[in-house]
Amino acid sequence: MAAFIAEQAYVDPRAEIDCDVEIGPFCVVGPGARIGRGTHLVSNVTIMGQVTIGCHNHIYPGAVIGGEPQDASYQGSDTQVVIGDHNIIREGVTVNRASEKEDGMTYIGSHNFLMANAHVAHDCCLGSHTVIANGSLLGGHVHIDDHATLSGATCVHHFVTIGRYAFIGGLSRVIHDVPPYMLVDGQPARPKCINVVGLKRNAFSAEAIGNISEAHRLIYRGKLSPDQARESLLLEDQLTPEVEQVLQFVQDQRDGEHGRARERRRAA
């Protein structure tokens, strides 16, 4: 089916609009946009700059995608936003283009749910199946791995990495990396326990959950280093791939600066 563009919308003739796209009234789509089939821009959506949006995304009123990075050093390069498939982007969400400091791309994967008034800053990289709840703010260069959940009004510092299946409590101030499978909360956010509910919902076995929980206990309550925890877990036959991910993540974090592995990129 051909694309539908409301009479009240403006779509630059240079934009690439695939079949079955629906662009509602008062949307503005700039010349650098590429929008995949089945994507629906409800109304009052603004797409500016070099933006590639995949298939079957649903973007709600007031969203602005592709605005220039809010970075004082930005010199106007042709950086971009790339968004995958089957994402829900609710009212008032803002996604900025990348700065000139990394690979020139702000990236959002597939099957993500960005709730109202969330902000994705320049150079962020979101995996797939993440939830970014209402009013959450991601600083520049933040990486969020698959299946992570940020509760409402979470603020994430520049260069933070949030591991897969992690859960962030509401109103948290996240200034350190968040290891995979962990639940963190507070100001600043600290690991409290593992994300048991999230792991069960995603069909992790009781054995896998127990192994991850033991890794958490050794590192955060036993105060062991990742290498010491690895030796202990190996003796108990609990050194699974998930546990190894936790240990390597924590080691990378400790090798970084200010509790953030990727903070070293700032100086570079």
3-state SS, residue 84:
coil
- pLDDT for the residue 259: 97
Q: Could you state, in chain order, the average pLDDT of each consecutive group of 10 residues for the chain (268 residues)?
A: 97 98 99 99 99 99 99 96 99 98 97 99 99 99 99 99 99 99 99 98 98 98 97 95 98 97 81
pTM of the model: 0.97
**β pairing state of 189-194 and 182-186:** antiparallel
- pLDDT for the residue 266: 79
- pLDDT for the residue 268: 57
Cα–Cα distance, 195 to 198 (Å, whole number): 5
Asked if residue 123 lies in contact with residue 101, where contact means CB atoms within 8 angstroms, the answer is yes
- Annotated domain spans of the chain: 4-199, 205-255
* Catalytic residue list: 122-123, 140
Q: What is the CATH number of domain 4-199?
A: 2.160.10.10
- pLDDT for the residue 165: 99
By CB atoms closer than 10 A (0-12, 13-18, 19+), residue 193 is middle
**Length, in residues, of the chain:** 268
